[in-house]
Structure 1
């Protein structure tokens, strides 16, 4: 973070100085009193299960030089006289406001990424293809909400050329608030699926929510979208440039000569109808990652990166953990995709399983959350897709076992109430040559199944 003065902070958060303190410049923000370092700005955020105001003493003891609060009932005499105190209406809003103010001080291009699935993988790919030409920052982990994204903005400084910021949401208005902070020069929408339909009720509303990434776009902005997605394919705009990628039509960027292997994909890019001579090889499996790669390549080309640089960048690709992690256990293979799940990502993972070389294909699937009234049909659809994908054995756990069975049929399916029961059964049935896909929503904690079967001997 570049240095920012107390007066600038007051202006940014629209606050009032209650105590001026002794420090006039700051370059680090913290929201966790356990992670405060000397000289930090500490935001006392309040949530349903915690209140940062209760930890002000610990933050100050750790060296916080400025505390931003919204409670007026605090006795300021209890605070160290060297610590500045700013009062705001709401500390969560103030965090966004200061990040927006700070973003305007930076001479840096921002790429915003959203979509129902594939955000993190695409973020990692974009960072890789840009890295040979630019100094790139990318969102750490899943810091993509109204608390996480401002913290990522505060991690930036003018030594970076480009920041890649992931933008998540669970309802309307959230991405617009993130876009107001980040002001992306270029946006990417991976797809529109069923994630968060419980809150948003329809895919049309999900599209509307994702399109909020363009809320502050003008003539110089660009939006890259997956044209193969049914909700995005007919999208047009007179206000900014739209770039489409895909496999099903003659888009701005498409792919030819596609090869899907166990641990990588290979294809030739077709840009503007002209095939690029040298193929692109990406060290991850799955047809869906051809689309994610095309999104990244389109972004790189818009920013002047050559295909030689793109290939070099992909060689150093670093992926976020627990997303399609191929674990070789010697006599059998685990495809660990236990981080999250939606109907689209389930089908993409089943495609990887289908194309993986092995004797038996076993799918271990759990509940997909936040699907509301679409939940039963969505789980049934995944069960049907598993059958079409020639899965030899389907094991499920959670509240939608009946839906999986309805889609898959009664043969070669076993259902369990808990992941522990499923693991107990699976551990006794694994055979040499098996390929096992493990996938469910994060709350199912299916990573414990992965760690459990890693200990299984055949």
Structure 2
């Protein structure tokens, strides 16, 4: 974002007091954000319980200079730029609408009562191999969340997916002006927020305003919806029973999954989704419809739709105490979502005995008597063994339920917790936010004290697509997964890359490639540093060796001849200045003579490695490497009459020397969110977050020491927390002794004393924390680039140094 205040003023109908020529680079409504700076435009929103105008003096003290306000706070008149408006929320929405008009790529707008977030997340997964997608974070679908989502668009995006939620009339018109969707999706219409509308018809009418100017509306054909859609809106409908729909779909259960048969425009094909509950089937079909409309071939739809996964953003499955399984759905309590949660319980149950902890039901749109009659019937039909009710209403209707115990509030349940004897059962926790059921979930969850490296697969996909956007359409892509995927894990990342259809994987040694092939990876895998003794295994597992010496070439040819191989792929490495591995110019005559005429092998590619692609001070040397590569590779190709793939660029080379893409490039550290260029880093997402917990907290007095060698001596009373991670886990000892820090409660806790083999100690005197609290070792803050700079090394060393004994946890947001 780069906008002048003078251009913003008329768009939000503001009165400016200050400099109109100031450049705005980001927008904020959160005074606590560490990203607030001199280029921030801060919207001072006012609500029932909070008025952001009161934070303006502190923000000015932190360097923020631009504010959208209802009024200028007294005494601050000339201390910042103020854009006065009648309503700061309306101004935020107007700004987002103005900003949205700067982009002209397709936008998918999603609304409905249920399924918006899931459809959004699934569409992101299904379409991300082909698009650089901007989407609403989590459930940012409100009057504030939508504009904040849209403002996050940047010039690298070429598809948007935004969800819009409303709770009453006249809200959707505002969101439509902000999202301006070109493609609309109407998901399931249920009972959520019914109380904000006179009837179902009014609610549907309001939701349909989102598609007022869309080129198409995707929805499940429905008589009531059909009657409310304006005639000028083009529709693309689906149905399980109505033959007049654009797409007809039939379904059947197959081995715990659902097989869909799709009939559309004289074609018919099957697709399997890994769900059987009604809600997931509807959501998956809406996604499938979007893919059809976007022109995806049936085989692509079939391949991707079967990989859909449960979105844990709302329903989370956790291990519980005493051999219990917890399904945590403590964020809302309405009738429709209860149905979905019970379906989910049935699909996911680990134990036969089923318990539900249920609060009063809100947002049902039903008379209370009718509501609890339906709820009791629903629970009975799902064969729930035990009901624990919390709230005045459900207590009043306890006679409608079998085997129920009720409490007036959450605290009363917690006081009686030990008497409930939770064991060997699956427990659904379903409650409205005001009941604070997270307290119950915390009591039920199994307490595991472990250090984990969390790997964000969404971020890997994002970073992959970022670098792909820099490539010519014909340029192939090899992704390096050597060194255990730069410390992040091999197979899981390789599987994701295979899904994204990269052309090659690169590993350092044969055993890494063998492990991937044995685990089912089918992509071609190049082994960059093969030892002669590994050639037999390389051939056996269909790996492709890099050959960098005459000795190695002859050794491989000998085995190839013994096994009577034909056109087995190899890769020729040229040394153009790195002086590490590879054939030099004076080796070429012998190399050509050795290769000429043999049918045992095929030169699949010719490659070299740049020594200074990340350092523009050595630009001339890098250019000389490219020129020499061009010369040597061309000679090989000409004298051998071959046309192999050529590649010399690594991650930094992709960005700094795009003219040398040749037939393929090799993406390495950039996939993991790291770049040597700060201007590029802001477009990448953090992939790995190393987390642990506080094992113990103690208070030491002045003059007492911490750790081996007494390298930390307390100057005053100090609270020390011990974290169960050390240099055996990959944390450099040099990061200790108050050079480094960890993050606890979003605050820095300096590492004190020497880092031990299995533990490190931090000063938490200024942090309100307790034993068991989570600790971030690295992630967004501190990031591995920062740590590497402080230690005088490179991020590669930090990432690859994380021990295999640290558990890797892979997730999608």
So what's the TM-score if we normalise by structure 1?
0.86
The separation in 1 between residues aligned to 2:409 and 2:312, in whole angstroms, is 24
- Kindly indicate whether residue 27 of structure 2 is the aligned counterpart of residue 29 of structure 1: yes
Contact map agreement 1:394 1:414 (CA 8 A) in 2: yes
Contact map agreement 2:398 2:404 (CA 8 A) in 1: yes
Instruction: Report how many aligned residue pairs link the two structures.
Output: 441
Contact map agreement 1:354 1:390 (CA 8 A) in 2: no
Contact map agreement 1:268 1:275 (CA 8 A) in 2: no
Which region of structure 1 is more displaced relative to structure 2, 148-157 or 445-454?
Answer: 445-454
Alignment of 1:439-458 (within 5 A): 439-455=430-446
1:248–1:74 distance in 2 versus 1, CA, 3 Å: farther
Superposition deviation, residue 289 in structure 1 = 0.6
Contact map agreement 1:361 1:435 (CA 8 A) in 2: yes
In the other structure, the counterpart of 2:122 is: 125
Which region of structure 1 is more displaced relative to structure 2, 231-240 or 101-110?
Answer: 231-240
Q: Which protein has greater RCO, CA pairs closer than 8 Å, 6+ apart?
A: 1
Residue-by-residue CA offset, 1:272-296 (whole Å, 9 max, x unaligned): 28786553334x6733111111111
In the other structure, the counterpart of 1:176 is: 173
Superposition deviation, residue 377 in structure 1 = 2.3
Alignment of 1:29-428 (within 5 A): 29-35=27-33, 36-71=36-71, 74-79=74-79, 83-217=80-214, 221-227=215-221, 231-232=224-225, 236-250=229-243, 251=245, 252=247, 254-259=249-254, 261=256, 265-272=257-264, 277=269, 279-282=271-274, 286-310=277-301, 321-329=312-320, 331-356=323-348, 358-371=351-364, 374-402=367-395, 405=398, 407-408=400-401, 411-422=402-413, 424-425=416-417, 428=420
SS at match of 2:392: coil
In the other structure, the counterpart of 2:588 is: none
Which region of structure 1 is more displaced relative to structure 2, 320-329 or 178-187?
Answer: 320-329
Contact map agreement 2:108 2:183 (CA 8 A) in 1: yes
1:274–1:445 distance in 2 versus 1, CA, 3 Å: farther
Superposition deviation, residue 209 in structure 1 = 2.0
Superposition deviation, residue 117 in structure 1 = 1.7
Contact map agreement 1:383 1:406 (CA 8 A) in 2: no
Contact map agreement 2:192 2:334 (CA 8 A) in 1: yes
1:440–1:426 distance in 2 versus 1, CA, 3 Å: farther
Superposition deviation, residue 398 in structure 1 = 1.3
The separation in 1 between residues aligned to 2:298 and 2:48, in whole angstroms, is 49
Contact map agreement 1:20 1:84 (CA 8 A) in 2: yes
Residue-by-residue CA offset, 1:18-74 (whole Å, 9 max, x unaligned): 111662x22200112221233111112222222222222222222223212221564
Contact map agreement 1:260 1:355 (CA 8 A) in 2: no
The separation in 2 between residues aligned to 1:368 and 1:190, in whole angstroms, is 22
Structure 1: 5+ residue stretches without partners: none
Contact map agreement 1:192 1:232 (CA 8 A) in 2: no
In the other structure, the counterpart of 1:17 is: 16
The separation in 1 between residues aligned to 2:167 and 2:29, in whole angstroms, is 22
Superposition deviation, residue 318 in structure 1 = 7.2
Superposition deviation, residue 248 in structure 1 = 4.6
Superposition deviation, residue 397 in structure 1 = 1.1
SS at match of 2:341: helix
Contact map agreement 1:322 1:338 (CA 8 A) in 2: no
The separation in 2 between residues aligned to 1:275 and 1:327, in whole angstroms, is 42
Superposition deviation, residue 100 in structure 1 = 0.6
1:456–1:149 distance in 2 versus 1, CA, 3 Å: closer
SS at match of 1:144: coil
In the other structure, the counterpart of 2:630 is: none
So what's the TM-score if we normalise by structure 2?
0.50
Superposition deviation, residue 97 in structure 1 = 0.7
SS at match of 1:34: coil
1:322–1:132 distance in 2 versus 1, CA, 3 Å: closer
Superposition deviation, residue 308 in structure 1 = 4.4
- Kindly indicate whether residue 7 of structure 2 is the aligned counterpart of residue 8 of structure 1: yes
The separation in 2 between residues aligned to 1:388 and 1:345, in whole angstroms, is 16
SS at match of 1:191: coil
1:437–1:233 distance in 2 versus 1, CA, 3 Å: farther
Contact map agreement 1:141 1:320 (CA 8 A) in 2: no
1:245–1:375 distance in 2 versus 1, CA, 3 Å: farther
1:253–1:135 distance in 2 versus 1, CA, 3 Å: farther
The separation in 1 between residues aligned to 2:409 and 2:106, in whole angstroms, is 46
SS at match of 1:400: helix
Structure 2: 5+ residue stretches without partners: 449-813
Which region of structure 1 is more displaced relative to structure 2, 47-56 or 314-323?
Answer: 314-323
